[in-house]
């Protein structure tokens, strides 16, 4: 449901803002400038998958996203 998805996104973003995780996202964003990498999972609907939120978080850090 939209409410469950919004709750998931809120919790996921909270987890990703923890210092060690945030630092890892910064490193991945920096690496994306010189190295290609992919993130995959088994979710059928990317619009309701952590990948879409992760992409946003990396983009906010200036990652190169293809």
State pLDDT tens for residues 7-65: 999 999 999 999 999 999 999 999 999 999 888 888 888 888 999 999 999 999 999 98
Which of 59, 65, 57, 58 is CA-nearest to residue 13? 57
Q: Strand, coil or helix: what is 44? A: coil
Q: What is the pTM of this model?
A: 0.86
Dihedral-angle region of residue 65 (phi above 0 means left; psi in -120 to 50 means alpha; beta otherwise):
beta
- CA distances to 23, 27, 46, 54 from 49, rounded to whole Å, are 22, 22, 5, 9
Half-sphere exposure of residue 1, counting CA atoms within 13 Å on the CB side? 3
């Amino acid at each position: 449901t939209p409410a469950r998805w919004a709750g998931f996104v809120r919790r996921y973003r909270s987890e990703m803002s923890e210092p060690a995780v945030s630092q890892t996202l910064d490193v991945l964003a920096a690496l994306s400038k010189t190295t290609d990498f992919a993130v995959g999972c088994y979710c059928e609907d990317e619009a309701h998958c952590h990948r879409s939120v992760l992409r946003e978080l990396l983009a906010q850090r200036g990652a190169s996203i293809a």
